[in-house]
Amino acid sequence: EAGVAQSPRYKIIEKRQSVAFWCNPISGHATLYWYQQILGQGPKLLIQFQNNGVVDDSQLPKDRFSAERLKGVDSTLKIQPAKLEDSAVYLCASSFPGAYEQYFGPGTRLTVT
Amino acid sequence: AQSVTQLGSHVSVSEGALVLLRCNYSSSVPPYLFWYVQYPNQGLQLLLKYTSAATLVKGINGFEAEFKKSETSFHLTKPSAHMSDAAEYFCAAFTGGGNKLTFGTGTQLKVEL
């Protein structure tokens, strides 16, 4: 069974530039999550999708972050414009609806200079 | 709100020694609890989970954890550490009401010869 796929694995950009991350969840997983993991901290949920609808985006900085999951499968997270404090690993996870167990992708390490 | 506390950001043990990583949660309602492991430049992998069945939970790679409601704890143990256990470990709690997985800040485990 293929796991959660993410790309790119690494990205370096300058502040005020834009960047996008892509995630393809495990087949059949209707629920998709984006987490931000800052160095030395645990992952923090940014947004949760159920199919193509947003369930929770209360911790998403909506002035600069956006995410979509148009067809209810893969998803894109965008940051525009990036700030230095956005340097982090962005993790995507997926699960069956209502399931407690989440499966994580390898993450995208973003460095903003 | 649910919170998860991991005591000790860094733990060092000798190969063959007992591993004990501590986790406490705060909740009036016992949540579902998880331990994840993260190897360098990889995503999170589920080690084990507690979902209100047996209080002693066995996971992969010889790890186990015991849920103690009276102590609001879910400590992770392994009788004999191996060099390959060196990684970062995260405790997480999921409460249905909050519909969110809350992570601790992580414990970096170092295994020395």
Q: Do A104 and B45 touch (CB under 8 A)?
A: yes
Residue with tokens 């331990």: B35
The predicted pLDDT at position A1 comes to 65
B42/A106 CB distance under 8 A: yes
Binary contact (A105, B43; C-beta < 8 A): yes
- What is the DSSP pairing of strand A75-79 with strand B19-21? unpaired
Contacts of A107 in chain B (CB under 8 A): 41-43
pLDDT band at A2 (very low <50, low <70, confident <90, very high): confident
Rounded Cα distance between B77 and B44, Å, is: 18
Separation CA B111–CA B113 (nearest Å): 7
Mean pLDDT, 10 residues at a time, over chain B (113 residues)?
Answer: 88 97 85 92 90 88 94 96 96 74 94 95
Three-class secondary structure of residue B85 per DSSP: helix
Nearest by CB to residue A91, choosing from B43, B51, B94, is: B43
B76-90 tens-digit pLDDT: 999 999 999 999 999
The pLDDT tens digits for A79-112 are 999 999 999 999 999 999 878 889 999 999 999 9
H-helix or E-strand spanning residue A79: strand A75-79
Residue B51 Cα distances to A9, A61, B74, B92, angstroms: 33, 32, 12, 12
Residues of B in contact with A100 (CB under 8 A): 32, 34, 49, 51, 94
List Cβ neighbours of A109 (8 Å cut-off, separation of 6 or more): A9, A10, A11, A88, A89, B41
Q: How far is B6 from chain A (nearest CA, A)?
A: 10
Q: Do A42 and B32 touch (CB under 8 A)?
A: no
In angstroms, the CA B59 to CA B35 distance is 9
Cβ within 8 Å, pair A100-B94: yes
Dihedral of the alpha carbons of B10, B6, B46, A53, in degrees to the nearest 10: -130
Cα–Cα distance for residue pair A70/B44, rounded to 1 Å = 26
Tokens found for residue B38: 């993260």
Residue of B101, B103, B107 to mutate, interface with A, max A Cβ within 10 Å = B101
What distance in Å separates residue A53's CA from the closest CA in chain B? 15
Q: How far is the C-alpha of B106 from the C-alpha of B87, rounded, in Å?
A: 10
